[in-house]
Amino acid sequence: MIYGRRPRQLIVVWGVSIVSIALIYWLEYSAPALHELLVPFYWIILALAFYLTWRWLRARSRKDRRGADRRRSDRRDETDVTSSSESTERIPPELPRRGS
């Protein structure tokens, strides 16, 4: 499923998640009154870790989601004039500076 890619990003995501959960647990252990306040943070951290894991796995799948190759050399007609080529002709002359 990984197809030869390095799992460094995945290890970082889960490492940071586990350290964050450990810090929240330590805070909760030190101040038990904060339990109700800190429980949603466990879920947020886990959801974020699973989402980033899913994105990591999806980016490394064999499935080609691009469809046709979009990197063609030139998709415009040769008679088509773009606004960028016209804008070079309309540049106003430089204005004189003050004090000179």
Work out the pLDDT band at 3, boundaries 50, 70, 90. Answer: low
Task: Check residue 48 and give its pLDDT.
Answer: 96
Work out the pLDDT band at 7, boundaries 50, 70, 90. Answer: confident
Task: Measure Cα distances from 43 to 21, 26, 47, 97 in Å.
Answer: 10, 16, 6, 61
pLDDT digits (tens, 9 = 90+) for 38-90: 999 999 999 999 999 998 888 766 665 555 555 555 556 666 555 555 555 56
Q: pTM for this one?
A: 0.58
Are the CB atoms for 42 and 21 separated by under 8 Å?
yes
Are the CB atoms for 13 and 52 separated by under 8 Å?
yes
Q: How many CB atoms lie within 10 A of CB 28?
A: 18
Compute the distance between CA of residue 83 and CA of residue 76 in angstroms, rounded to an integer: 13
